[in-house]
Amino acid sequence: MAESVVQGVSEMKLTDDVNEIHTVNENGETTEHFISLMIKAGSDRECVGCCPFSQRLFMILWLKGVVFQVTTVDKATVPKNISDISPGCNPPFLIFNGEVLNDIQKCEDFIEAELYPPRYPKLSCKHPNSNNIGSDIFAKFSALAKFKGNPNDPKRQGMVNKLNNELSKLNNYLNEPLDDEIDEGSDESEPQKSTRKFVDGNTMTMADCNLMPKLNMIRVAGREMLNYEIPCKFDGIHRYLNTADATDEFTQTCPDDGEIVWTYGGRKPRPKLVKH
């Protein structure tokens, strides 16, 4: 597990010689990388904010098992030391041995290329279809979330239907055995059903880092703000979300439900009491 620190941006210290910075991990070993991830800050300008792209990179670095620093950044008041690094850039972005990366896909590709086996796990998918499954789900949900008309308007129901159609495709994929799951000796009269934990198998990959944060936002914002629930018939998706809820890689990088609700127009979360 990665040793990570989430801190307010006011505590962050950057130097001109970041390549000379070394971090000691829990085994007392000196790492060869300085990695700092800037993610969206939440309602109090310090906590983890609601941003699936921020959580995506957060999860990837966590899964890699590398030591890294996490800093929450409020987009409305980006400090000078951050704006000097990446002018006009909104989080998330990554500083990797002094190089600033602010494109999500490039960040992902860079991490996979630089943190490679045998020291770091490979996170790319073994099955090509796993890379793109669910790619249109969040767009369909965003369209529904932006709808401000009458709840009984047929247009809204059309948006719900389009979202459910995309979720159905994902559900079918999660329930369909992958090539390496198929039991050739099984009874052909009984269709096989996958029980795998994640999109591409029983190991979390880049595909999960992209999909899990978005499905969670749909689950929370849909239930609390849009009178929408992921249908119970999508058992593969519910199995998948239950698996996500049991993993540190997802839960420890996830914004609170209140932050998601606030992002979609709900009440601002109450400040958490600091225990002394």
Instruction: List, for residues 196-230, the tens digit of each pLDDT value.
Output: 999 999 999 999 999 999 999 999 999 999 999 99
Label residue 22 by pLDDT band (50, 70, 90). Answer: very low
pLDDT in tens, 258-272: 999 999 999 999 877
Q: Where are the beta strands (DSSP E) in the chain?
A: 4-8, 35-40, 68-73, 93-96, 99-101
pLDDT in tens, 104-151: 999 999 999 999 999 999 999 999 999 999 999 999 999 999 999 999
Mean of pLDDT values over 50-59: 97
Decide if pLDDT at 6 tops 70: no
- pLDDT score at 192: 86
Q: What percent of the chain has pLDDT over 90?
A: 70
Choose between 275 and 173: higher pLDDT. Answer: 173
61 close to 119: Cβ distance less than 8 angstroms? no
Tell me how far apart the alpha carbons of residues 151 and 153 are, in angstroms, rounded to a whole number. Answer: 6
User: Rounded to the nearest 5 degrees, what angle is found at the Cα of 205, between the Cα atoms of 41 and 234?
Assistant: 85
DSSP label at residue 198? B
Which class is domain 23-114? Answer: alpha beta
Label residue 19 by pLDDT band (50, 70, 90). Answer: very low
Choose between 252 and 76: higher pLDDT. Answer: 252
- pLDDT score at 274: 53
Label residue 37 by pLDDT band (50, 70, 90). Answer: very high
- The whole-model pTM stands at 0.86
DSSP label at residue 190? S
CATH 1.20.1050.10 location in the chain: 128-264
pLDDT in tens, 63-89: 999 999 999 998 777 767 667 766 777
Hey, which residues does 93 pair with through a beta bridge? 38
Q: Where are the beta strands (DSSP E) in 3-146?
A: 4-8, 35-40, 68-73, 93-96, 99-101
Choose between 191 and 12: higher pLDDT. Answer: 191
Tell me which residue has tokens 């130097």: 15
Q: Is 44 helix (H, G, I), strand (E, B) or coil?
A: coil
CATH 3.40.30.10 location in the chain: 23-114
Tell me the residue length of the chain: 276
Hey, which residues does 4 pair with through a beta bridge? 68
Decide if pLDDT at 47 tops 70: yes
Give burial (CB, 10 Å; 0-12/13-18/19+) of 220.
Answer: buried
Q: Is 168 helix (H, G, I), strand (E, B) or coil?
A: helix
- pLDDT score at 76: 76
Tell me how far apart the alpha carbons of residues 226 and 20 are, in angstroms, rounded to a whole number. Answer: 49
- pLDDT score at 273: 59
Domain covering 128-264 assigned CATH 3.30.420.40 in the classification: no
pLDDT averaged over every residue in the chain: 86
The number of angstroms, rounded, from the C-alpha of 245 to the middle of its chain's C-alpha atoms is 13
Tell me how far apart the alpha carbons of residues 10 and 247 are, in angstroms, rounded to a whole number. Answer: 30
- pLDDT score at 23: 38
Amino acid identity, residue 174? L
- pLDDT score at 233: 98
Amino acid identity, residue 257? D
